[in-house]
Amino acid sequence: KHEGRNTYRLFRTEMNAHDGRQLALESALRDTVESGEGLAVHYQPLVNRDSGEVEGAEALLRWHHPEFGDVSPGVFIPMAERSGLIIPLGRRVMEKVAEQLGEWRLAGLSPPRVAVNLSAGQFWQGGLVEQVRELFQQHDLPPGQIGFELTESVLLDRQQEAVGLLTDLRELGCRIAIDDFGTGYSSLSYLQDLPLTTLKVDRSFIQRLTGDEGERRGSAAIVAAVTGLAQELGLRVVAEGVETEEQLQALARYPVTLIQGYLTGRPVDAATFESRYLGCRVG
Ligand code: C2E
Ligand code: CA
Ligand code: CA
Ligand code: CA
């Protein structure tokens, strides 16, 4: 009992230090969102498995703070979601992406479609469709130049309303991907009910495809089922988090359209993405 109490006290102290850092981080994030300083969007290629061509990219937000250094999205995105900062932050991401795509196109380059991650707060904020439409106009982007990635949990809470919103986005040509597929709800019926285009098989399944014997069998069954289902429904399949040749080999037997992972390309800043993947100018 006595020991228990000491442990408790220690735990409290750590909690307080942790809370203090969280508060400081959150306040720093608030300033950053206002000024826009220290925020950058990186781009990770999505590569067509058969042709090897870069058919798309995912926009991934990066935050560098003078005091805290590089803060991982795994830390600051959940924080932004809890505090509501995700709405202005997400708007900045979309603006940056639209601006960058417009710039590339003006320079005579042909950037691929870029997918932006949407948190629940952003998706349900109201005015999202108008925001997207305006950005397309402002930067003279062709329909569908920007698309979106959402997780199941965002959509399934209010599925009827989601259909309406997604339909509006689809009318702007936007592709809609279900992110981290397989890690959320187990219901599959929504795949048929929502106007989706793409299914992203979560990294955890890809990684376990080359794990030990037991893992391998289980995840192979899941990947087979999920990719087969997607194919039947006419959805494109992205394999997320492919890191090794061995994993790529293991995927060979499944109907996967696109590969995204460190093997085919890490997320890189816009200038690097341009020189690496948008090489030659048109005309
Ligand atoms: P996500 O949407 O699932 O993004 C994919 C994550 O996997 C990225 O992490 C990416 O860097 C990482 N990744 C890609 N290939 C590989 C691989 O081969 N191996 C491994 N181990 N990882 C790989 P990142 O950039 O740290 O982002 C983490 C999460 O933060 C994202 O997960 C997404 O949920 C969220 N996020 C990032 N940017 C934004 C944003 O602009 N808006 C919102 N709402 N969320 C964002
Ligand atoms: Ca994503
Ligand atoms: Ca993902
Ligand atoms: Ca995720």
Question: Which residue, 123, 178, 115, 116, is CA-closest to 152?
Answer: 178
φ/ψ (deg, to 5) at 196 = -100, 165
Distance CA 171, CA 86 (A): 25
For a substitution probing ligand 1, which of 77, 246, 251, 258 has the most ligand atoms within 8 Å of its CB?
Answer: 77
Residue 6 binned pLDDT confidence (cut-offs 50, 70, 90): low
Between helix 128-138 and helix 159-171 the angle, nearest 10°, is: 10
pLDDT on residue 214: 86
Q: Which residues contact 224 (CB under 8 A, 6 or more apart)?
A: 254
The answer to whether the CB of 255 is under 6 A from ligand 1 is no
Q: What is the mean pLDDT of residues 81-86?
A: 96
The pLDDT tens digits of the residues spanning 10-47 come to 555 566 777 888 899 999 999 999 999 999 999 999 99
Output 20 or 112, whichever has higher pLDDT.
112
pLDDT at 282 over 50: no
The answer to whether the CB of 180 is under 6 A from ligand 1 is yes
Question: Which residue, 263, 152, 243, is CA-closest to 199?
Answer: 152
Q: Which amino acid is at 271?
A: A
What is the ipTM, given to two decimal places? 0.98
Output 45 or 182, whichever has higher pLDDT.
45
Cβ–Cβ contacts within 10 Å for residue 190, how many? 16
Q: Is 212 left (phi over 0), alpha (psi -120 to 50) or beta?
A: beta
Distance CA 151, CA 187 (A): 13
Distance 19 CA to ligand 2 centre (A): 28
pLDDT on residue 182: 83
Ligand 1: nearest atom to the Cα of 200: 3
